[in-house]
Structure 1
Amino acid sequence: MIDRALVERVDLLCLDAGNTVIFLDHARIARFLESRGVDAEIDALIQAEGSAKRGLAGDGSGEVVAFSWPHEREPGGAEWGKVMGTIMALGARAPRERVPELLAALWEEHLRFNLYSRVPEGLPAAISRLRSAGVKVAIISNSEGRLASLFEELGILACFDRVVDSSVVGVAKPDPRIFSFATEAFGISPDRTLHLGDTFATDIAGARAAGIRTALIDPFLHYPGLYLDVPRVDSVAQVSDAILALR
């Protein structure tokens, strides 16, 4: 059950991309690692991803394993490298001296076709219903500058009124200014805006700093017992329908 206060008077729904609209393909990462002689179990990769996400918050609740690797200074590369490097080191227990080369090879795979590419069933239809009722829907994502083209390839670009890619606009979450690329574009105040995302350090902290309501999508239970003041929701579709019910 979603708290009515979370979804009432929402004129703009902002969404993170990864693990909110497009989900990480852990099985693909496992296949990549196994093809290079590194055993990988999907559940372990998921747990390590959670450690990285918690570690990014810097509050001691998780661990980020950082590596120097060839593409870390490219747009979107720094945060991506921390998450994927932690997945490799903690989840797959890859030899740490091999992680930089594995990151470089996986980055090429990621640029060829984004590792975050699984679209939940029912999401496009739910967003379409919400937009038909007059609610604007925008993506606010820390990405590599290719998010719009990925969405077009996945057939979901038309679902959104605006796609704000950090590498395109030059501002990344948790900097609250990134949200203004949506709120100011539509003339909608932060108090009439709701942001959904899967990472506390970027999504929740950034949206809160912008004066925007927030909720955490945590499908893999990466935040057990943490940040209990942040509402949890199951999916974008669930929230979209809850907003629509109050229109």
Structure 2
Amino acid sequence: MLNGASLYVTWNGVVGVRAVLLDVGGVLVVPDPRAVGGVMGGHGGATDPDDLIRAHYRAVHEADGDDGDFDWPGYHTGLVVHSGVPVGARELCNQGMIELVRAMPNLWSYPLPGMAATLRALAGRYRLGIVSNNDGTVGRLLAEQGLCQLGAGPAAPVEVIVDSALAGVAKPDPRIFTLALDVLGLPPEEVGYVGDTRAYDVSGARAAGLRPFHLDPYGFCVAADHEHLADLADLL
């Protein structure tokens, strides 16, 4: 039982799932805690990567809604609060985070621990693909970080990479998932999608007929209407 939703598995993976599509931000990579810690620490907040990653997921949870309703300003405010920045320094720290995002467009590029190995293991169980709201560079990012690439290579092989900036459609619009399904040639009910938000990922995947898995490492989401994963390796 994972956060109130059952995940049934067999020796070779999740029952009924032949392929898994993956989000990138919040699933494979997170905002670089070294850069974020530089801002937070400068205003009296946390600098430890584990603390900052937890603060990230808590801020995502609090900003998350349904059907595309995600409060990005609220996320940045929550990140400052849950990073332990004192009340009197939060406004200035929030401005520092805004400046960091502007100066570092590749901020969301820090692979979660063990992710390369997890993806290689998943590739041995499922057909894999990527569906991400991104800026047109997600394929290059994943290859540079040694996480995956299209087809054979040094990292985990994936069959399709759909980047919203190149596709012209973004989550939660179900059409972005259809683009990946067309490449896989599988019915949607045989494909899982792992994302870190209800707003973009659970609602979008469900609208496309896929089986959504909500990656929620700290168990912040208690909704019982979808399945949860504490770790991507739970799919193994």
TM-score w.r.t. length of structure 2 = 0.75
The whole-number CA distance in structure 1 between the counterparts of 2:216 and 2:118 is 19
1:233 corresponds, among 212, 229, 235, to: 229
Indicate if the aligned counterparts of 2:32 and 2:107 stay in contact, CA closer than 8 A.
Answer: no
SS at match of 1:188: coil
Q: How does 1:1-247 map to 2 (within 5 A)?
A: 2-4=7-9, 7-35=14-42, 38-41=43-46, 43=51, 46-47=54-55, 49-57=57-65, 64=71, 66=73, 83-88=75-80, 91=83, 92=85, 93=87, 94-96=89-91, 99-100=94-95, 102-109=97-104, 111=105, 113-121=106-114, 123-132=115-124, 135-158=126-149, 159=156, 160-223=158-221, 226-239=222-235, 241=236
Which letter maps to 1:115? W
Deviations 1:183-211 (A, max 9, x none): 01121111110111111111111111111
Q: Please, what is the CA RMSD of the aligned residues?
A: 3.2
Q: Return the offset for 1:138.
A: 0.9
Q: Deviations over 1:124-180 (max 9, x none)?
A: 3443344345x3211111223221111121112322222222222122211111111
- CA, structure 1 residues 97+125, in 2 after alignment: closer, same or farther (shift >3 Å)? closer
Return the offset for 1:105.
Answer: 3.0
Structure 1, unpaired ranges of 5+: 67-81, 242-247
1:87/1:148 Cα in 2 relative to 1: closer, same or farther (>3 Å)?
same
Aligned residues: 215
* C-alpha distance in 1 between matches for 2:214 and 2:27: 9
- Partner amino acid for 2:107? N
Q: CA deviation at 1:220?
A: 2.9
1:57: how far off?
0.1
**Alpha-carbon separation, structure 1, partners of 2:78 and 2:56:** 6
| Alignment TM-score, normalising by the size of structure 1 | 0.72
Greater strand share, 1 or 2? 2
The AA in structure 2 aligned to 1:142 is: N
CA distance in 2, matches of 1:140, 1:209: 15
Q: Write the distance in 2 (CA, Å) between the matches of 1:119 and 1:23.
A: 7
> Where does the alignment leave 5 or more consecutive residues of structure 2 unmatched?
2-6, 150-155
Report the residue type matching 2:108 in the other structure: L
1:55 aligned partner, one-letter code: A
Could you say if the C-alpha distance between residues 14 and 33 of structure 1 is closer, same or farther in structure 2, counting changes exceeding 3 Å?
same
- Asked whether the equivalents of residues 45 and 88 of structure 1 are also in contact (C-alpha less than 8 Å), the reply is no
Paired residues of 1:54 and 1:200 also in contact (CA < 8 A): no
Q: Residue 214 of structure 1 aligns to a residue in which SS?
A: strand
What letter is aligned with 1:87?
L
